[in-house]
Copies of this chain bind each other. A is one copy, B any other.
Amino acid sequence: MSEAAQPARRIIARCRELAQVSDVPGQTTRLFLSPATREAHVLVGGWIRAAGLKLRIDAIGNLRGLLGSEDLPRLVIGSHLDTVIDAGAFDGPLGVMLGIELAHASAHDHLPFAIEVIGFSEEEGVRFAKPFLGSLAATGELSENILGLRDAEGVTLRQAVAEFGLDITLLPEAHLSEYALAYLEFHIEQGPVLDSDGEPVAVVQAIAGQSRIQVSFHGHSNHAGTTPMGRLRRDALAAASEWVTEVERYASGCEGLVATVANLEVPGGAANVIAGRCFATLDVRHAEDAVRLQAVESITAAARQAGERRRVAVEFKTSLDQTAVPMDTVLADNLAAACARFTGKPARRITSGAGHDAMILAGRLPPAMLFLRSPGGVSHHPTESVNVSDVEAAYGAGLEFLRSLRDDRAMFDLLVKRASNHRREAQNA
């Protein structure tokens, strides 16, 4: 049995145990600063303490454990403890449990740095319709506007913090230490790529940038029986449909691009009335912003073209234009080398199509992420799972990574320098 076998089993068992802690009996639903969150703090806090880490809960409810001295350079390993409604056991908690195990295993490794494990309190954004509250607090970006947000019951974020028994005036203490060096996050892929390719883990190269656009097609509604085909029709649905196939065609021909029309609506649609209006959503993602923006340009031009041919006017409203977040190349290369040493084969690289805390942490620290295969590509669903051997691979690669930073002093010094450069660049940006 490998060094990783027992920790991997414990990591999975803890994720499963935590999945029982829920605001909705029979589901896994842990919302921000909810009763289940309090219970999760007790449970996970116990594991953090048992691993020999110094425990604290910061002003936004992030659960944090520190291994090593306060004034050492600090590697932050984290992910989130909150979930979507009716979630699986691993999206978030897996990264926290891996962090705890890795810190525990490193306790006697004489690392030249501290390890801080963070279980972020709100990544999914269910309660306040605003994701990343925990990581935004850690990077000092929780604005007054955000603190004034209200949940479905009208409770403000500020009130929710107080009701949970936390002190919002202590938010500055939630900021990352000035000695923080890098951020490492383990997460399930939430997609089908690794499962389809038979790969246990992959090093993330970037979190894709994302455009989200509302597209409206305005034609004219006519009688479907009495209006002949051709120039007398101004069929908004026909225009939209031609465009949807064009979106699929364009994206399929562009390496690494995903572009999806996921929703389409014909307001007041009836079987015998040619659609006068049609609304569609467009979601475009790519690791390189230039590629994404070019795609958006081509795709919106295609919509206009499909409309023009049918005298259907097309309007666009951009609701999201989020730039890509590249992971730190030196950390990624180190992580890939660690993976290769543990698994005996070259590490797979991947782009994350979904957002993660690492995206926010990247504003303050050089970030790195390792994805674990999602069997069946399942995500945000109770049947979400991980393979034990994949968790072993992630844990083993993590240990290799930590030890390489201990053993390669020049590399460690480089990381310290990169962290300081990163911080300066982020401040100037």
Chain A interface (Cβ < 8 Å from any Cβ of B)? 189-193, 196, 208, 210, 212, 222-230, 232, 235, 237-238, 240-245, 248, 251-252, 257-266, 269-275, 281, 283, 285, 352-354, 377, 379-380
Given contacts A208-B225, A263-B269, contact A192 B241 (CB under 8 A): no
* CB < 8 Å neighbour of A244 from B210, B212, B241, B353: B241
* CB < 8 Å neighbour of A232 from B222, B251, B283, B377: B377
Chain B residues whose CB sits within 8 angstroms of the CB of A208 once the complex forms: 225
A377 vs B269: C-alpha distance in the bound complex, in angstroms?
Answer: 20
Q: Are B225 and A285 in contact (CB under 8 A)?
A: yes
Residue in chain B with minimal CB distance to A251: B229
Chain B nearest CB from A235 CB (Å) reads 7
Task: Beyond A230-B252, A262-B269, A263-B271, list 11 extra A-B contacts (CB 8 Å).
Answer: A191-B227, A192-B222, A193-B226, A222-B377, A225-B258, A237-B261, A238-B248, A245-B245, A262-B272, A263-B275, A265-B265
A212 vs B270: C-alpha distance in the bound complex, in angstroms?
Answer: 12
A212 vs B251: C-alpha distance in the bound complex, in angstroms?
Answer: 34
* CB < 8 Å neighbour of A273 from B225, B257, B262, B270: B262
Residue in chain B with minimal CB distance to A282: B271
Chain B nearest CB from A133 CB (Å) reads 19
Q: Are B222 and A258 in contact (CB under 8 A)?
A: no
A194 vs B53: C-alpha distance in the bound complex, in angstroms?
Answer: 84
Chain B nearest CB from A324 CB (Å) reads 12
Copy tally for this chain in the complex stands at 2
* CB < 8 Å neighbour of A266 from B224, B226, B262: B262
Q: Are A262 and B224 in contact (CB under 8 A)?
A: yes
Chain B residues whose CB sits within 8 angstroms of the CB of A226 once the complex forms: 189-193, 352-354, 377, 379
Chain B nearest CB from A372 CB (Å) reads 13
CB-CB nearest 10 A-B residue pairs: A191-B226, A225-B353, A263-B269, A241-B244, A271-B281, A224-B260, A226-B353, A241-B241, A229-B252, A192-B232
Given contacts A262-B275, A270-B263, A283-B271, contact A225 B354 (CB under 8 A): yes
Q: Are B248 and A244 in contact (CB under 8 A)?
A: no
A283 vs B227: C-alpha distance in the bound complex, in angstroms?
Answer: 12
Chain B nearest CB from A350 CB (Å) reads 10
Chain B residues whose CB sits within 8 angstroms of the CB of A212 once the complex forms: 271-272
